[in-house]
Amino acid sequence: MEALIDAVGLHTYYGASHILHGVDFRVGRGETVCLMGRNGMGKTTTLRSLLGLTRARRGTVTVRGRDMTRADPSAIARQGIAYVPEGRGIFAGLSVREHLIMAERPGPDGRREWTAERVLDYFPRLAERLDNQGTNLSGGEQQMLSIGRALLTNPDVLVLDEATEGLAPLIRRDIWNVIRAIKATGIATVIVDKNVKVLLDLTDRSVIMVKGRVVYDGPSAELKADPGVLQTHIGL
Amino acid sequence: MDFTFFLIQALNGVQYGLLLFLIASGLTLIFGIMHVINLAHGAFYMVGAYLVWSLTGVFDSFVVAILAGIVCAAALGWVIERFLVIHLYNRDHLDQVLLTYGLILVLNEVQRMMFGSDVHGVAVPSMVAASIPLTDTLSYPVYRLVLAGVCLALAFAMYWIIQRTRLGMWIRAGAANREMTASLGIDIRRLNALVFAAGTALAAFAGMIAAPLSSVYPGMGDNVIIISFVVVVIGGIGSVKGAFLGALAIGLTDTFGRVLLPEMSSVMVYALMAAVLLWKPNGLFARA
Ligand SMILES: Nc1ncnc2c1ncn2[C@@H]1O[C@H](COP(=O)(O)OP(=O)(O)OP(=O)(O)O)[C@@H](O)[C@H]1O
Ligand SMILES: [Mg+2]
């Protein structure tokens, strides 16, 4: 499988604290990968290192075959990686409509499959709130806006950190359904979430991190069949 | 005070305020978006005045001199951002103040070397050199009205760009959350360079159109920068709308202060600032 993202040997620090200790992370075209681990194990830091937001001190990040290790986050994004961050990243002062308008652009190969109309078909609730300030939306609506905005960049990979954190059960179900639908369109996804059961059903591959190291990287189906591994590393 | 006199002062106040807005709007954007305190912003006003004075000599036309001057000023701003300001983004305000203060000294010295310390005048373009008679003794210069009109048009253009265009949305998004904006593929470094160049051009443009009224002299930017910071603080850092209202308030306060309370005039604008800050500590239109 062609690698969209191929990160090798990432060592990332916050100041003097050494957080990632040689993380390898790969995402293939159309592949759905989850990144699991207890609190503070380095999931967000791994995603941020891939996206160029927190620069790894050692290691390399290759995107679609190009070395992006030192590239600006915007250049990495333009290689077809879209980010739905922890906390959703809604812009204060921008309406829902403006969030969608400002994000829309063709994908790295010029595709324009995702338009505002299509995003609003996926998220009818956003269509009703186009003129609201993004920051006035409910948590679930903000997550939909964050995902919709990411899709409008026509990405090859969608990276979701804490995809359903802080949302009511019914809203979570909606978000999972949307992620399933996105997966069905062939977009690769990287998902961090607390709901291990859904993740194992939804994803092709699972990566488990403990203290800044990858301790498991394999098919989600195998992990599901071997509860001992989850027990050891995640405590389930 | 009769009505005509009041009208003249009000027009002067508005026109001074609009001029201040051109300077303060760039300052507030640079501060609000790039988080850089640019003390040298007033020096760009001086650069503009000297540009128009020397370019009028070259082109023999005020308008052509202004157009050429805008291009020069934007290029200067771009170069300064690329080579100097770019190093300030992740630094604290002290470093920013030191570097941009140094820039004032350099620009003032370059001015002295190139143009000396004489005061120069720039003629009001003949097309708008007339005055509108108001009473037998009082009249109002057309140039001042044209100047106010041009400033207003620019203010509307800025409002439109910032509120209605994708570029404006990127600028606002970048101010709200730089990382998220970059993660959507928008190159913040280019936005920064653009905003800084545009801010420089605006301040220089203010110096150019003010030149026929104020004349052109060394250090003319030094007073302007202080009052522009007052405008930025009153309006709320990063708010162009706030800068607009703040600039008008300062323009009117300063102008009427000079005629009504001449002995207090120098403290009036600061009293206004203190009053606004007591009422709204983060300025009129503070960002959340
Ligand atoms: N900005 C920061 N400065 C210093 N240390 C940080 C910073 N952000 C995270 N850390 C530390 O880095 C480690 C990894 O954090 P990270 O956010 O990557 O974990 P995580 O797996 O995403 O956790 P969570 O499930 O809580 O989101 C933690 O020990 C955390 O305390
Ligand atoms: Mg995290």
DSSP sequence for A122-175? H-HHHHTTTTSBGGGS-HHHHHHHHHHHHHTT--SEEEESSTTTT--HHHHHHH
pTM given for the model: 0.91
A85 vs B139, more confident: A85
Name the average pLDDT for chain B: 93
Quick check: A8 pLDDT over 60?
A: yes
pLDDT digits (tens, 9 = 90+) for A96-112: 999 999 999 999 989 89
To test the pocket of ligand 1, the residue of A11, A25, A43 to mutate (highest count of ligand atoms within 8 Å of its CB) is A43
Ligand nearest to the CA of A37: 1
The structural domains of chain A, with segments of one domain joined by +, span 3-233
Quick check: B264 pLDDT over 70?
A: yes
pLDDT digits (tens, 9 = 90+) for A15-37: 999 999 999 999 999 999 999 99
Q: Is A85 in the pocket of ligand 1 (CB under 6 A)?
A: no
Q: Which helix (H) or strand (E) holds A209?
A: strand A205-210
Quick check: A224 pLDDT over 80?
A: yes
Cα angle B93, B176, A71; round to 5: 80
The tokens describing A22, both together, are 């040689």
Q: ipTM beyond 0.90?
A: yes
Third-level CATH fold of A3-233? Rossmann fold (3.40.50)
* Residue A41 CA, closest ligand 1 atom number: 21
Q: How far apart are CA B41 and CA B200, in angstroms?
A: 7
What percentage of chain A reaches a pLDDT higher than 90? 93
State the pLDDT at residue A234. 87
Q: How far apart are CA B52 and CA B123, in angstroms?
A: 11
**Residue A81 near residue A189 (C-beta atoms within 8 A):** no
State the pLDDT at residue B1. 62
**Residue B208 near residue B66 (C-beta atoms within 8 A):** yes
* Burial (Cβ within 10 Å: 0-12, 13-18, ≥19) of residue B92: exposed
Q: Indicate the pLDDT class of residue B120, thresholds 50, 70 and 90.
A: very high
The gap between the terminal CA atoms of chain B, to the nearest Å, is 43
- State the distance from the centre of ligand 1 to the C-alpha of A35, rounded, in angstroms: 14
What percentage of chain B reaches a pLDDT higher than 90? 81
State the pLDDT at residue B262. 87
What percentage of chain B reaches a pLDDT higher than 70? 99
Q: Which helix (H) or strand (E) holds B8?
A: helix B3-34
Q: How far apart are CA B200 and CA B40, in angstroms?
A: 10
